[in-house]
Amino acid sequence: MLVNQLKAFFAVARLGSITGAARQLGLSQPTVTTQIRALEEQYGVELFHRGGGRLTLSEAGRRLMPQVDRLLQQELDIEFALRNSAELQGGTLRLGATAPYYTLALAQRFRARHPQVELSVSAGNSRQMVDALLAYQVDLATSSHLEEDPRLHRLELGADPLVLLVPRGHALARHAAVPLDALAGETLLVRERGSMTRQLGEQALDAAGVRPRAQMEIASREALREAVVRGLGVSIFAAHETGRHPDLIALPFDIEMPLVREYLYCLRERQGARLIEAMLACVEPTSHTSAAPSTGSA
């Protein structure tokens, strides 16, 4: 019970909100609030100052933070050591994924070599997956962000150019290659902030001085594709993420576009752990650039 209460305290203190802590811990907001209040009442201490709808750490809370950090780190290290203690005939490995094209190919190779290891895959955007790795919520993570954090070990999985996804029958579908300024008359469908594809697409448009007629944010890759099918707009995708759908066409641009690179990360301190090392060994040498799909490819 005490460890759970300390986890709630630490998450709220680090994220600055009950809502964010509840989301990270997979708990309801009332549960997080109850755990913190129970901790304060049991030991007669005020860990947060509450005022104006905000929580700020008290002096007692600030003193407690590094101690709880060390405690939770020890718990994570023990849990990881237990999962990694078995030979490769067992154990559990958690992979955080951004791009299914690379992640599923990697998972397929790993499963073929180590079928007895339980592999779980969670999904999110690049920023979310790196954060999950640093928070020890996953053991490895893929991301399109180039991270220079010295705590991380990195391998490149591949790289793809940006392409335009349009519904079949769209006026732009007649182009062999799409001029970037053609997007000025379109509604552009984009991922949420934190997506490298969105960031690189916006940078290319800004550099060309192109402003789409309208923009709509949609939080998942699958929902974006469905929105394009329904004619809500067009979307910039990494070439390998376009998928296959009879009503969609992926078109290259008529200028060189930024490459979306995909990396696999693990914590440097755990790079030599048996299960992580086995996953890293499944990474194949990259060809660095995938060919852009031709007109009519789905």
What Cα–Cα distance (Å) separates residue 240 from each residue in 111, 116, 161, 207? 22, 29, 9, 24
Q: What share of the chain is helix, strand, coil (3-state, %, to 5)?
A: 45, 25, 35
Q: Residue 89: which pLDDT band, with cuts at 50, 70 and 90?
A: low
Instruction: For residue 3, give Cα distances in angstroms to 24, 67, 141.
Output: 16, 12, 26
Q: Is 70 left (phi over 0), alpha (psi -120 to 50) or beta?
A: alpha
Q: At residue 294, does pLDDT exceed 70?
A: no
Q: What are 190-209's pLDDT values in tens digits?
A: 998 888 889 999 999 999 99
pLDDT tens string 7-17: 999 999 988 88
102 dihedral zone (left: phi>0; alpha: psi -120 to 50; beta): alpha
Res 230 pLDDT > 50: yes
Which of 34-48, 57-71, 73-87, 120-134 is predicted least confidently? 73-87
Query: For residue 289, what pLDDT is reported?
Result: 35
pLDDT > 90: percent of the chain: 57
pLDDT at 286: 62
Share of the chain above pLDDT 70, in %: 93
Identify the pLDDT of residue 1: 78
- Residue closest to 92 by CA, chosen among 122, 123, 117: 117
10, 61 contact by CB (below 8 A): no
Q: For helices 29-43 and 18-25, what crossing angle results, to 10°?
A: 110
**Tokens matching residue 156:** 């490149």
| Selected residue with higher pLDDT from 123 and 51 | 123
Classify residue 165 by burial, with Cβ atoms within 10 Å: 0-12, 13-18, 19+: buried
User: Residue 153 pLDDT > 90, yes or no?
Assistant: yes
> What's the pLDDT tens digit per position in 163-195?
999 999 899 999 999 999 999 999 999 998 888
* Gap between the Cα atoms of 196 and 140, Å rounded: 18
* Range of weakest confidence among 49-63, 175-189, 218-232, 270-284: 49-63
